[in-house]
Amino acid sequence: MFPAPHYREQFSLMLSEVLYDIGVNEQKIARWRKLMQMEETLTNITMMQTGVNITSYYLGSKSEGTTTPGLESDLDYIACDNNVRVIQDLSEWEHGKKNYLMIQNENTTPGYCLLQLFQYGRPMPANEIPDEHHLSDRRRILCKNTIKDCFMTSGYEQHGPSIAKRWQHGFCDTDMVPAFPCKSWPQSASGWLKRQGTGGLPTHEMRRFTAQTTCFVVPTGSKVSIYPELEWRISTSLAEKYLMFNLNITQIRCYVLLKIILKSCLNPQGEINLSSFMIKTVLFHCIENTEPSIWVDNNLLTCLIFCLQELHSCVQNEHCSHFIISENNLMAGQFTSETNHKLTENVSDFIQNDRHFLLRIDTDYLGYRLQAKLNMVPQRVYRSCISFSSYLMFACNIFWAYTSFIRRLPNENFEEKMNQYCNNYLPSLMTYDIDNDEIIAHNRTRYQAPLAFTTYGSALASSSIGKNNEILPEAFTLLSDGLNSDVSSGKLKLASVFYSIGQMEKAEEILRQTKQKYLSHHVVPICISEERIPSTLSEDIVRVCKEHKEDCIRHIVAFCVHFIRQEINCVPHELQYEMFRSTQDDMKHRVKKQLWFEDSFMTWATVDSLLFLYFLQYKIYGHLKRHQEKQQALNKLMRTTFPGENLNHRETALNILGQIMEQENRPNYAFNCYIYSLRERARNNAAKIHLCRLLSYLLQPRVEKTLYQRCTDIRP
């Protein structure tokens, strides 16, 4: 590599400044890494508490902090099945696990292996085929990589070894790769630990970390394999992640820039021919073979061109060696001759006209920002923060982690289990140690605990209301501790409890305060079962995210209000029907077609926060004989339901509105509400109950009893 001309130094500094402005700087990278580490910790502790023996490892751009808003990176993670062990010799066989022997020979593709099943109770090869995901080959029982199909469910797609979920309305997509852990570091990767290039990779610390870290096999075969269904790829993802965490800021900027160029310029016709993993591998090779002093900001453009030259050579020769398992050619069988020729031309053109192409890149307005630095166009102000959707995904994960625990609690000793969870389990998280960073577990507890306190307090209140229509002080204490889970849901539950025991003034005061906070802020209603968030990003929301970081959950997020059946006596009568929405036929379809959290919600009463607020106001003002305010609440309830672009659980909202229309003696309007509700959700919908009840009234002779009295005779 030769010294860069003066103009390249100046252009490199401008390029570094632009990347800094986009968010590729030490502060934002550290923020991304902490956020993703919290997500990973959250997921794994939840798996532990629910008895699922799987460990998740968050990988890829988000966990590394090597992403930008324009790159629209997915959330990638490995789901490692701890019930399995992949061994390399019999001495590693482990009792109580499903053991597979790793087989590599002259017929397996480098970097890949076969898995031979061993007996469960003793270190002997299995001699019987256990299921359709295994087959017999030369008296060996081998595991097929089609076993990944077991992870497929509704709403997910198969992309190579990963199970992809394409979310909607602002959530980032997720790619989950099922994997088996290796008992020891594979022999095919051990050579990397002994080599060291000009750039000093791997360092002594990297060797020590690698020797202690986990390695995986993932269910996918090579494109040039003679065993397409039997090969498993050896993954050294954790070692590669550690390498990324040890790059300096210029190396990270070079990598991000390479990915932006990959997205904008290199892949022809938008086809995914080159992967970001190939780009990362090229970067590793370049760092390994250059002096560390080269990687500085005023040399960024030269470093970029050097990486592109290395990439050009790889594409031209159709050979890119895996950085750790060098025998594994990442480009083997990846390109047709036509694609290879086109890619070679694209990379060559970019190298020869680097500044021209950089100034034209649209991703993250990179080209325009560079032009502004060169005084070619006017300056603009761009919003820059950690992706708004990432904070909301964090909020959803908080609620997902909690509901995954709630759905597994047995009905018979629910209160006992909740007591153990709140008084024993949650405090234990305060000392949970992961990578010597206890604050991560502490933060996770801080956000999840209020949700637990609210449900436990409401369940206790429901139990005591059922016995003597009174509420224990302990229940009120728990409900008070859960008020700040988010903007509204904890407060609305407490208001619902007061409403259920007839303390209308206290309930009205809580609703008034909640409404004031909700309407005075830019609040985002989110629910994991709806799989969407509003796509609008206001300046105020950006500001709150920037100021409060993860704590923005309590300032801008409004969870839906969820009542489980143990809380039924704290639920208004109109909402109780939602807990019994499914016929026997509905339940058959529910299990097959719904995601697990949707399946759980079918037995819960779940309602949008803002709509529930107006509904409670309507009911409470009616009891307080404040008819004008009651009518105002009804008008707001109707405006929230129609058109309801940002309304979660619209079918439930329509069912509630329909019942109110019955109480208002407007049966035709109620009928339309139930019909619209069934259009939203044809199955597992309480609207069927309401329609049957309403039609039963309308078709019978008129009696003196009012419509409202008649309708409330039939309770769930």
Tell me which long-range contacts 289-297 makes (C-beta under 8 A, separation of at least 24).
Answer: 289/197, 289/198, 289/199, 290/1, 290/198, 290/199, 291/198, 291/199, 292/199, 292/200, 294/1, 295/248, 295/250, 295/251, 295/254, 296/250, 297/12, 297/13, 297/16, 297/249, 297/250, 297/253
User: 639: helix, coil or strand?
Assistant: helix
According to DSSP, residue 296 is labeled S
User: 152: helix, coil or strand?
Assistant: coil
Q: Do the beta carbons of residue 172 and residue 71 sit within 8 Å? A: no
pLDDT tens digit string along 670-694? 999 999 999 999 988 999 999 998 9
- How far CA 343 is from CA of 53, 308, 313, 314, 339, in Å, comes to 43, 12, 11, 11, 6
Q: Identify the bridge partners of residue 113 per DSSP, sorted by sequence position.
A: 232
Q: What is the pLDDT of residue 443?
A: 56
pLDDT tens digit string along 441-471? 455 567 778 888 899 999 999 999 988 888 8
In the chain, the percentage of residues whose pLDDT exceeds 90 is 51
pLDDT tens digit string along 372-420? 998 887 777 665 545 566 677 777 777 777 777 777 777 777 888 788 7
| Annotated domain spans of the chain | 1-24+247-382, 74-240, 385-571+610-637, 572-607+649-716
* Residue in the structure block whose two tokens are 């998740």: 56
612 phi and psi angles, rounded to 5 deg: -65, -35
- N-terminal to C-terminal alpha carbon distance within the chain: 77
Across 54-67, average pLDDT:
92
Alpha helices in 549-595 (DSSP H): 553-556, 573-576, 584-593
According to DSSP, residue 138 is labeled T
pLDDT tens digit string along 482-520? 898 899 999 999 999 999 999 999 999 999 999 998 887
User: 548: helix, coil or strand?
Assistant: helix
CATH entry, 1-24+247-382, from 3.40.1280.10, 1.10.1410.40, 3.90.1150.10, 3.40.50.1970 = 1.10.1410.40
Beta strand 156-159 with 162-165 is antiparallel
pLDDT tens digit string along 561-595? 999 999 999 999 999 999 998 888 887 766 443 34
Task: Provide the CA 143 distance to its chain's centre, in angstroms.
Answer: 29
Q: What is the pLDDT of residue 307?
A: 97
User: 202: helix, coil or strand?
Assistant: coil
Q: For 14-18, 279-283, 322-326, 390-394, which range has the lowest pLDDT when averaged over its residues?
A: 390-394
Alpha helices in 187-248 (DSSP H): 204-212, 237-245
436 band by pLDDT with thresholds 50, 70 and 90: very low
Q: What is the pLDDT of residue 658?
A: 96
Alpha helices in 24-170 (DSSP H): 26-49, 60-64
Task: Provide the CA 328 distance to its chain's centre, in angstroms.
Answer: 31
User: What are 78's two structure tokens?
Assistant: 């490995």
What is the H or E stretch that residue 164 is in?
A: strand 162-165
pLDDT tens digit string along 324-365? 999 999 999 888 888 888 899 999 999 999 889 999 999 999
